[in-house]
A and B are shown apart, each in its own frame.
Chain A
Amino acid sequence: MADPNILQFAPFSSAVDAGFWHHFTQLKLDVLQLSEEPVSVYGSYVNTDPPGLPSRLCVEYDALNRTEVSSKSYSALGTLINTNTVEEFRSRSKPDLLRTSAEQLWAAITSGSALEKPSVLASFLMFTFADLKKYHYYYWFAFPAFTLQKTFQLVRPPQSLATALSSQQISSLLSACASPGSEVDPGFFTVVQSGTEYTLHPLKDYPQLRTAAQGTEKEIYLGFSDPSTLPQNPGWPLRNLLTLVALKWSKEFPLHKILCLRVRTKNGEKDGSYGLLVEVDLAGLVDCLSPTEMPPYLGWEKNERGKMGPRMVNLSANMDPTKLASSAVDLNLKLMMWRVAPELNLGIVRDTRCLLLGAGTLGCAVARCLMGWGVRNITLVDNGKVSYSNPVRQNLFTFDHCLNGGVHKAMAAAEALKQIFPKVNSSGAVLSVPMPGHRVGESMLEQVREDVATLEKLVETHDALFLLMDSRESRWLPTLLGAAHKKLVLTAALGFDSFLVMRHGVRTSHQDDDTTTDTHTHTIPRGPIPGDMLGCYFCNDVVAPGDSTQDRTLDQQCTVTRPGMSYLAAAHVTELLVSILQHPDKGLAEAAVSEHGGASEGVLGPVPHSLRGFLGTHQLLTPASTAFQQCPACCDKVISAYRGEGFEFLLKVFNSSTYLEEVSGLSSLQQCVDDSQIWELSDEDDSGQ
């Protein structure tokens, strides 16, 4: 238990405003730069806190460029010393730092300048290091004060004003404090009591007023605005005030009465009764104080751990622009969830790794749309370079990308995505997807083998594949790989004024088991088609993909489409993926066959199998079809051939598209179709219709 005759003060706790570090960062970057010169910082404290709060010394957001505090708080003058390195922050002598502050304070007290400007009595030191790469701020406050040889002796225990004064006196005191007059510092002052009337006077007038009051009814008090809320202890500012009083006036007046003013507003009524009346006897201190000899000093603040150490605050979440962008993007998406679709699972969208095959008009637009949904992992595959005609349609490229022969589209697009949103994990792969019927020469063999291996790896490491190329046959290998690895595969293809967007059927393990039994037959459902029975891009074809660019004129080889088509298709294919992900059955979600098909709905509604859009008539159809058992890309026979022979099988397909028709059973199908239909047709022809 502390000695009841000793006056003890409640130390300050530092409280930094959320905006302060922003201003500090700007000051450091724009003004201070590498300077370690001390700068002024204006702190403030209040005497209006409810019980329980520690006395706070606030450093507000504008503490570095303000010159006055708001009318409801009292100013404390601070010095900020920033170091440039963490080593400097660590090694700088803390006693030396504090000594500099203490010396300034001592000089103000001895010279009497503290009487003119008493707010220096509440001065403080702020020692900082800012790691601006990480937005970590290390800081350590000190509230310098002196330890005198003897303590401040109480004449009697501190009394609350409620017991020491009448309520009339308190209200008179409060109204005096409310308008102290321009001469009086609102933090430290002299109070003159005459009966029940109180008036405030400048601190420096205290000795004259004491002398003048001798032999009169008047009572003279020292007064200060007290940040403490403790019932027995005044706040830290009084400590330096009493040091000043002891040094300057105690030879003449050893006994002092101090009014510690605390004003609380409760239900709109000001209440000063929590304030304290403290009476001290400073006679014992007179002899041990000399202006030429600064007493020992202290004042470093303990950190949250209760130790003599600095504090650290990590503000990257509030200040790092990259993180701000990231949280703003998330917030935007969350708002959609909060406001419209509470069931929406944004996490599953964000975590879906997307592989975009093709970084042209479709690839660029799909990538952007995926970012809009918060997708964080996007890989683009393309072997082309950006040409002069591209940027106007392919919205990740600019004119600069075309110069000097053009940069690789896959790389330029991945880079552009990062510029748009730094937190995206985008990468590009420059490779050409090998195609059926495009013979692989001896010289190309190794390259093709490598490309296939890269592509296999990419398919394995992604969750959703987007087939966004401009030729039919280039979609074959990714369709096969996607089916074999049971990935979500989505296709978008453009015509001049029409587009096709579809999801491929997703294979299940159950289907893999059945590959051995050729007798297995699909029963085509009458209602909605389950996801594992849906067709792929090639399922409606009766010829295997071959070299379709062979006999084309220039206009046919380029994608000639109305410019809006790619945006329409890209938006639909991205939203189709999101609809799949938000369906409880994911890729296995059933697709309705007819318009009122009654397929089960996910959070974002039913998931169609395909969308066919016609800009000419502004129509959108959603047909669904089942997988084709002789499909050259996704049927069991082709998949098991790929699984069995691997690259050797693929090579045979690249070298001859008829091989694919044989494996899939298409050729035998074609045979029987040819046999029957050709006869029919020739019959009609013969009849001369």
Chain B
Amino acid sequence: MACMTYEEFVASCRVLLQVSKELGDSWVMCHSASDSSTIYLSKTQCFKADMPTPISELTAEKSESPDEIEKLIEDFTQEPEPPDPSSVSNSTPGYIITYEYHIVYSLSHSVPALYFNAWYASGKLLTLQEIWERVSNQFCEQIADNKWNSLTQTEHPVLGRPFFQLHPCRTAELMNIVCCESEQTPKDVKKYLISWLSMFGPVVGLEVPITYYNK
């Protein structure tokens, strides 16, 4: 039996939060605006992609002419400021992507589920396609094989906005292998969330340090 009740979920969230605080990690607890007893954990993290900024993604949609917007931006462009000896001139190329991870309780599967969104420095969200492209090579094959069942876009159960989700339909099965002890003790519930996160998080760039387990 590797499901958890909502009460166990909340309890294990508190444990995770406590460990996060001790380790200087940045998990925070959020409450639903309509029902404060509904909680989820949230963490924001930045990545840098070592590629030139995909300007087309930042500006126009496919249906619009990127040239027009390019021209408009060009129109605004000012004379360069005089060279400034006190600033580092060429910052490294690449762009920042911010990921916001949520650990949410899945009512229908009785397991935790990992939701996330990601956006460029402009605030524009990444599309599902772009998310797939960013899944680390190590997991690419598994995801691609079972693309539609593992990583999809769906409505956030608390916020009601579209979020990406690592689908929880096989979480219980997987956790069964991990928490193989026959007797479920309260201690297991605490480790459950951390073990689960350490398996699901890395798929989408969320690493869980081993120290989480030792604390």
Residues in A lying within 8 Å of B, measured CB to CB: 2-3, 6-11, 13-21, 48-49, 52-54, 56, 70, 72, 86, 89-90, 94, 136-138, 140, 145, 147, 151-152, 230, 233, 236, 239, 263, 265-270, 298, 300, 303-305, 307-318, 327-328, 331, 334-335, 337-339, 342
The A interface, classified by DSSP as helix, strand, loop or mixed, is mixed
Which of B10-18, B135-143, B149-157 contacts the other chain? B149-157
Q: Are A338 and B149 in contact (CB under 8 A)?
A: yes
Q: Are A309 and B148 in contact (CB under 8 A)?
A: no
Partner of B121, one of A11, A14, A138: A14
Quick one: given A14-B121, A16-B121, A312-B59, are A152 and B88 in contact (CB under 8 Å)? no
Quick one: given A267-B210, A268-B215, A337-B148, are A230 and B123 in contact (CB under 8 Å)? no
> What would 11 more interface pairs be, CB under 8 Å, given A8-B87, A19-B123, A90-B75?
A10-B87, A54-B48, A54-B96, A136-B69, A138-B76, A151-B86, A305-B55, A308-B77, A309-B73, A331-B162, A335-B154
14 A-B pairs, CB-CB below 8 angstroms? A8-B88, A10-B88, A15-B96, A90-B76, A269-B211, A304-B55, A304-B58, A310-B73, A313-B59, A313-B120, A313-B123, A328-B155, A335-B152, A338-B152
Quick one: given A152-B86, A304-B55, A318-B124, are A310 and B96 in contact (CB under 8 Å)? no
User: B212 CB to closest chain A CB, in angstroms?
Assistant: 7
In Å, the complex CA distance between A389 and B60 comes to: 49
Q: Are B87 and A9 in contact (CB under 8 A)?
A: yes
In Å, the complex CA distance between A89 and B78 comes to: 13
Partner of A298, one of B28, B84, B119: B84
- One digit per residue, 1 when the CB lies within 8 angstroms of any chain A CB and 0 when it does not, for chain B 22-33 equals 111110100000
Find residues 72-125 in chain B having any chain A CB closer than 8 Å to their own CB: 72-82, 84-89, 91-92, 95-96, 98, 100, 117, 119-125
Q: Are B86 and A53 in contact (CB under 8 A)?
A: no
In Å, the complex CA distance between A17 and B121 comes to: 7
In Å, the complex CA distance between A16 and B119 comes to: 9
**Total number of A-B contacts with CB less than 8 angstroms?**
170
Q: Classify chain B's interface size.
A: 35 or more
Partner of A310, one of B26, B55, B76: B76
Residues of A within 8 A of B59 (CB): 312-314
In Å, the complex CA distance between A15 and B121 comes to: 4
Nearest 8 CB-CB pairs, A to B?
A268-B211, A338-B148, A309-B77, A268-B23, A313-B122, A16-B123, A18-B119, A304-B53
User: B101 CB to closest chain A CB, in angstroms?
Assistant: 13
The answer to whether B209 has its CB under 8 Å from any CB of chain A is: yes
The answer to whether B7 has its CB under 8 Å from any CB of chain A is: no
Q: Are A18 and B85 in contact (CB under 8 A)?
A: no
User: B77 CB to closest chain A CB, in angstroms?
Assistant: 4
Q: Are B91 and A265 in contact (CB under 8 A)?
A: no
Residue of B22, B55, B85, B92 most packed against chain A (CB within 10 A) = B85
Q: Are B124 and A53 in contact (CB under 8 A)?
A: no
Find residues 169-215 in chain B having any chain A CB closer than 8 Å to their own CB: 209-212, 215
In Å, the complex CA distance between A66 and B78 comes to: 33
Residues in B lying within 8 Å of A, measured CB to CB: 22-26, 28, 46, 48, 53, 55, 58-61, 64, 69, 72-82, 84-89, 91-92, 95-96, 98, 100, 117, 119-125, 127, 148-149, 152-155, 162, 209-212, 215
User: B52 CB to closest chain A CB, in angstroms?
Assistant: 8
In Å, the complex CA distance between A588 and B122 comes to: 51
Residues of B within 8 A of A52 (CB): 48, 92
Q: Are A312 and B121 in contact (CB under 8 A)?
A: no
Residues of B within 8 A of A136 (CB): 69
Nearest CB in chain A to that of B213: its residue: A268
Residues of A within 8 A of B69 (CB): 136, 312, 314
Nearest CB in chain B to that of A3: its residue: B85
In Å, the complex CA distance between A147 and B25 comes to: 38
Residues of B within 8 A of A334 (CB): 152
Q: Are B98 and A15 in contact (CB under 8 A)?
A: yes
Q: Are B211 and A17 in contact (CB under 8 A)?
A: no
In Å, the complex CA distance between A106 and B55 comes to: 36
User: B136 CB to closest chain A CB, in angstroms?
Assistant: 16
Residue of B123, B127, B215 most packed against chain A (CB within 10 A) = B123
